[in-house]
């Protein structure tokens, strides 16, 4: 059976590997990448792995790029494109905050609207959002990224209820700390800020992502399972051992006092100062 999937943000990380793996599983894969140079890179890797991937420039913030895909009939849309803007909510410049939401929220929703309408007309289809554990909770220095993923959680929840009567399914995948380079780049975002470092409240040269990071295989396997239907749960948190921690953190907001430990550094902030970038789980 011919099955077609459109994957955004397929130039790196999860999206890249999912595109290659689905192609090997006989899917017709349309892999959207942000910049033209990624087209050759992904095509070359597909050739090396003996699979066929249709690689196209698709910057989700570019209306012209989105329009080129608005008439596609695909079985599955994987909204995977995203960026992470790290830094304290006190320090992030306005333009960077706006960019965070343009890439992670506005662009994907505009693309989804066009494709979802076609799925609703056919009364079939599936839309998968690559969300994050950061869409459920928030840690220090990832507030902007978490806010964008909280928005995606709300959008996916509403969209799933709206499209149910049209036979269109919606699901999320929620990765935690995985070693794609993405988490460490979030904590390097400050280097592109057009402001004096002395104006920042925090010293970002000495701050790193505060978690040890896992190999990406569980996220790739789970996303493929959701796409193919062998996994039918709406929310899919990986790694699995993070599920209870996420629930505890969410529940804690109901009982935590706002004046707890004022004047003391938050424990995870301290970890950000102690951790080295790119620390794997098994180190």
Active site residue 211: no
Q: What kind and span of H or E run contains 109?
A: helix 107-122
CB 278 within 8 A of CB 179: yes
Nearest to 163 by CA among 132, 103, 118, 129: 118
Q: Sheet containing 28-33: which strands, arranged edge to edge? A: 54-57, 28-33, 4-7, 76-79, 125-130, 168-175, 235-238
CA dihedral 198, 199, 202, 206 (to 10 degrees): -30
Determine which one of 145, 204, 209, 211 is catalytic.
145
The strand pair at 235-238 and 168-175 is best described as parallel
DSSP string for 45-88: HHHHTT---EEEE--TT-HHHHHHHTT---SEEEE-------S-
CB 91 within 8 A of CB 201: yes
DSSP string for 192-234: G-SS-GGG-SS-GGG----S-BB-SHHHHHHHHHHHHTS---S
Q: Which residues are catalytic?
A: 145
């Amino acid at each position: 059976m011919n099955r077609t999937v459109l994957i955004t943000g397929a130039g790196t990380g999860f999206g890249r590997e999912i595109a290659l793996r689905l192609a090997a599983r006989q899917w017709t894969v349309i892999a959207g990448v942000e910049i033209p140079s990624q087209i050759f890179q992904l095509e070359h890797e597909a050739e090396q792995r003996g699979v066929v991937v249709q690689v196209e420039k698709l910057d989700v913030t570019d209306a012209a790029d989105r329009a080129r895909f608005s008439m596609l009939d695909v079985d599955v849309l994987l909204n995977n494109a995203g960026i992470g803007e790290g830094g304290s909510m006190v320090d992030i410049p306005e333009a960077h905050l706006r960019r965070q939401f343009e890439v992670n929220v506005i662009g994907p929703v505009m693309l989804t609207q066009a494709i979802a309408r076609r799925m609703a007309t056919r009364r079939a289809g599936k839309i998968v959002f690559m969300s994050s554990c950061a869409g459920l909770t928030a840690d220090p220095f990832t507030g902007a990224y978490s806010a964008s993923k909280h928005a995606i959680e709300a959008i996916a929840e509403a969209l799933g209820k709206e499209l149910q009567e049209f036979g269109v399914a919606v699901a999320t995948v929620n990765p935690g700390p995985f070693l794609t380079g993405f988490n460490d780049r979030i904590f390097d975002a400050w280097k592109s800020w057009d402001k004096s470092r002395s104006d920042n409240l925090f010293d970002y040269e000495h701050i790193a992502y505060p978690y040890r990071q896992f190999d990406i295989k569980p996220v790739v396997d789970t996303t493929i399972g959701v796409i193919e239907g062998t996994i039918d749960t709406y929310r899919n948190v990986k790694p699995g051992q993070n599920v209870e921690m996420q629930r505890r953190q969410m529940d804690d907001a109901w009982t935590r006092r706002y004046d707890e430990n004022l004047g003391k550094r938050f424990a995870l902030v301290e970890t950000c100062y102690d951790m080295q970038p790119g620390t794997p789980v098994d180190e």
